[in-house]
Amino acid sequence: MAYHIDLYLTYLRLNAKSWWQYRADFAISMVSLVLHDGSSLLFLGVIFASIRQLQGWSLHEILLIWALEVMIRNVARFFFDVPHRVHMYVQSGNLDRLLVRPPWLLLQIAGERGMSLEAVGQILVGTAALLAVVPGLHLPWWSIFYLPLTIVSGVFIMCGMHLLVACLNFRLTNAIAALSTVTWMNKFGQYPVTIFALPLRFLLTWVLPYAMMGFYPAAFMLRGGEYRLYGLLAPPMGLLLFGLSLLVWRVGMRHYQSTGS
């Protein structure tokens, strides 16, 4: 384990050095992504310029949900953007090259292509929004411990969910369309799930559990007992989903056949 941790940190350091050699490109990427999430904030501001609440949720409460989703999504991209890279290795045959090496396969993919350092800008945006909105919400004292736990479990939920879809590459060779669709759905996780129709609520809670990343933890801290069950389910769901994705990954690898590229 110590060997793999040291190897991952080495990969991270080398990726940072690589990005630093192209400072202008790195800065442009960061700024463009910051503006992307900034446009979402502008959209919320425009909505709440006309209304005071959205089905009982205030602007500050929705900003808490939004900030959690942005932070979780980009921490996952920063450390483990592996699912979006798997299809390239399968199609090109480069997965065979990694299989003959001793380190964990997922770690190698993360080190070579699965770290999105430009996500730092979006992490800073999410962090700034979180720090700005939390003082005015009067959250319970235990949120000091629950908030970091929510972020960690949310990262596991997102990584696990995307890795499960990426395992389709072992059967379909290129499942990037399915993964792109699932990734796009995270936009719904930036808002209270209660504003959507019942089928979409079920989808975002139990099938593509983006609501477990931001909404239910935030609602648990804001509304207490009404959302206690979902709030307590959210942290263990991250570990369960990521553990399931690793099991499916191992099964997929046993059935992997080289493309011969």
Alpha carbon distance 233, 237 (integer Å): 6
Tokens of 225: 């007992």
DSSP 187: G
Cα Rg of the chain, angstroms? 19
Tell which residue, 84, 91, 89, 114, has the closest CA to residue 99.
89
208-229 per-position pLDDT tens digit: 999 999 999 999 999 888 899 9
Task: Note down the domain range covering 6.
Answer: 2-254
Asked if residues 8 and 110 have their Cβ atoms less than 8 Å apart, the reply is yes
Tokens of 38: 């900034």
Task: Evaluate whether residue 10 is within a structural domain.
Answer: yes
Tell which residue, 249, 252, 69, 40, has the closest CA to residue 158.
69
Task: Evaluate whether residue 214 is within a structural domain.
Answer: yes
Task: Evaluate whether residue 261 is within a structural domain.
Answer: no
Query: Rounded to an integer, what is the distance from CA 54 to the centroid of its chain?
Result: 25
Tokens of 61: 């409460």
Please give the pLDDT value at position 261: 56
Alpha carbon distance 239, 219 (integer Å): 21
Task: Evaluate whether residue 187 is within a structural domain.
Answer: yes
Task: Evaluate whether residue 161 is within a structural domain.
Answer: yes
Q: Number of H helices and number of E strands within the chain?
A: 13, 2
pLDDT at 157 over 90: yes
Tell which residue, 107, 260, 242, has the closest CA to residue 173.
260
Amino acid at 124: L
Average pLDDT, the chain: 86
Asked if residues 89 and 177 have their Cβ atoms less than 8 Å apart, the reply is no
**Total structural domains in the chain?**
1
Task: Evaluate whether residue 260 is within a structural domain.
Answer: no
Task: Evaluate whether residue 13 is within a structural domain.
Answer: yes
Task: Evaluate whether residue 216 is within a structural domain.
Answer: yes
pTM of the model as a whole: 0.89
Q: In which element (H, E) is residue 57 found?
A: strand 57-58
9-55 per-position pLDDT tens digit: 888 888 888 777 777 777 777 777 777 777 777 777 776 666 666 77
51-72 per-position pLDDT tens digit: 666 777 888 888 999 999 999 9
Tell which residue, 198, 199, 210, has the closest CA to residue 159.
210
Alpha carbon distance 37, 67 (integer Å): 10
Tokens of 134: 């939390």
pLDDT at 144 over 90: yes
| pLDDT confidence band for 148 (50 / 70 / 90) | very high
